[in-house]
Amino acid sequence: MRIPLKEVTPELQSAEVIGWIHEIRNLGGLSFFILRDRTGFLQATIIKKKAPEAVLEAAKDVSRESVVKIVGTVKESDKAPGGREIIPEQFEIISKAETPLPLDVSEKVLAEVDTRLDNRYLDARRPKVSAVFQVRSAVTRAVSEYFYKEGYINITTSKIVAAATEGGTELFPIAYFEKEAFLNQSPQLYKQMMMAAGFEKVFEIGPIFRAEEHNTTRHLNEATSIDAEISFADHNDVMKILEDVIIAAYEYVDKNCTDAIETLGVDLKVPGKNFPKITYAEAIDMAAVSTNEDIKYGDDLSTSAERAIGEEMGEHYFITDWPTSIKPYYAMPYEDDPKICKAFDMMHPRMELSSGAQRIHQYDLLVEQIKQKGLSPESFEFYLKPFRYGMPPHAGWGVGMDRLIMTMLDLPNIREAVLFPRDRHRVTP
Ligand code: ATP
Ligand code: MG
């Protein structure tokens, strides 16, 4: 049976291993082959005078990144990675890699992002790349476990829809028989309908599609959203839940991904409880002072404004009490001051991670707000109807998974946190 490379120790005496040839070095009478699998590295050392003929033949023929099977004796060795090496008695090329490689996996300096993404299968052989996706897998698990433990129902809603969540033009049209249809921007309307269905607490981790033309390091046209919606809760309740989810994700990674974190060389800091809260009005003032930009009340926060505020805050924080005019129609206005609403953004110092709000649950008010935004209530009939037959008060949020991973691991580009990113210029692989 094949043994994972990390588990190969001199105590085993002999072992059968399978891995990729990461590096080849020839030194006169000796040749070294560094094998790699997802658990680590192992040096195979061939002493030319002593090795069987068949081993020498195969070793001469093999190329980097080929998959090989080696059976041999395991010995201590101070110079080899992990302090041990294998001396092959059998050396079998299972799948030979062509030369030259489209991408050098052993290279310490990463190639251009585009070359890497074009050859993602090779790029992801690099421990630093695979570590990102091990962490992403762990975060998905930690977040799901949090929700299950708290009694949420995991829902899956359709990604093919007839209407935009928030109106607007950021939709990908698709050919859907005789009808017009789109890829969904957000599960927002659907998770709200499940509040009408009495599910009380739901979550969904799924794709969202945004036909945004901008090409930035924090936007993709297909992203993964962690969505939660909770009945009988207000904006303050769900901000607390959001904070708990973020901390749970960090704590899980901190505890369970020590190898990946070490490989990545990141200084993972689990955020403390009670993320500070500033109001939108305070945020605007802070940004105006530190950016010299002409920022007016009612403007959305620009990227540079977000950065300036983030620098000052220095940790995860909330921006609350947004002008009703710049938040979606479903955000609940304050009863005593309807110009502002119970919406919030949750921010990492580098960028926005989440938007959420207490939602409007009153039919008439919702119709009014839809009209206020210049949208037509008729196109939202399927969504509005449930509000006429017993809709509980509710609140929720959506967190971008890709941005969560990007900020957690201090990655320079959101594409680093996504296996097969979709942007303006990329639909393959
Ligand atoms: P931004 O203002 O940063 O473009 P947004 O306010 O348009 O984001 P929301 O509609 O509030 O985004 O979506 C909730 C979350 O989903 C965002 O905070 C972000 O983490 C994530 N998200 C939204 N759009 C994208 C995108 N195009 N690429 C990656 N993540 C996204
Ligand atoms: Mg937002």
Domain boundaries, the chain: 5-95, 121-276+315-417
pLDDT at position 231, please? 98
Tell me how far the alpha carbon of residue 235 lies from the centroid of ligand 2, in angstroms.
15
**For the segment 370-426, what is each residue's pLDDT rounded down to a tens digit?**
999 999 999 899 999 999 999 999 999 999 999 999 999 999 999 999 999 999 999
**For the segment 272-287, what is each residue's pLDDT rounded down to a tens digit?**
999 999 999 999 999 9
pLDDT at position 379, please? 87
Are the CB atoms for 383 and 167 separated by under 8 Å? Answer: no
Query: CA 227, 232, 235: angle at the middle one, nearest 5?
Result: 60
pLDDT at position 266, please? 97
Q: What is the pTM of this model?
A: 0.96
- Residue 168: pLDDT above 80? no
CATH architecture observed for domain 5-95:
Beta Barrel (2.40)
**For the segment 46-99, what is each residue's pLDDT rounded down to a tens digit?**
999 999 999 999 999 999 999 999 999 999 999 999 999 999 999 999 999 999
Share of the chain above pLDDT 90, in %: 93
**For the segment 183-229, what is each residue's pLDDT rounded down to a tens digit?**
999 999 999 999 999 999 999 999 999 999 988 999 999 999 999 99
Q: What is the DSSP letter of 375?
A: -
- Return residues with CB closer than 5 A to ligand 2 (ion): 355
- Burial pattern 155-194, b for ≥16 Cβ within 10 A else e, equals bebebebebbbbbeebbeeeeeeeeebbbbbbbbbbbbbb
Mean pLDDT, the chain, as a whole number? 96
- What is the number of the ligand closest to the CA of 351? 1
Q: Whose CA is nearest to atom 17 of ligand 1?
A: 354
Q: Which two structure tokens, joined as six digits, stand for 106?
A: 């052993």
Beta bridge partners of 208: 223
Task: Locate the ligand 1 atom nearest the alpha carbon of residue 306 and give its number.
Answer: 3
How many CA atoms does the CB half-sphere of 62 hold within 13 Å? 31
- Range with the poorest average pLDDT among 67-76, 105-114, 302-311, 327-336: 105-114
- Residue 166: pLDDT above 80? no
Tell me how far the alpha carbon of residue 399 lies from the centroid of ligand 2, in angstroms.
9
pLDDT at position 108, please? 78
Tell me how far the alpha carbon of residue 98 lies from the centroid of ligand 1, in angstroms.
41
Reported confidence tier of residue 299, pLDDT bands at 50, 70, 90 = very high
Choose which residue among 219, 341, 397 to substitute to test ligand 1 binding: the one with the highest number of ligand atoms within 8 A of its C-beta.
219
Q: How many whole angstroms separate alpha carbon 123 and alpha carbon 102? A: 10
* CB proximity list for 427: less than 8 A, separation 6 or greater: none
Reported confidence tier of residue 110, pLDDT bands at 50, 70, 90 = confident
What are the φ/ψ torsions at residue 6 (nearest 5 degrees)? -60, -30
Helix then strand then coil, in percent of the chain rounded to 5, is 35, 30, 35
Would you call the peptide bond into 429 cis, given omega within 30 degrees of 0 as the criterion? yes
pLDDT at position 107, please? 79
Assigned CATH class of 121-276+315-417: alpha beta
Task: Locate the ligand 1 atom nearest the alpha carbon of residue 355 and give its number.
Answer: 11
Tell me how far the alpha carbon of residue 187 lies from the centroid of ligand 1, in angstroms.
13
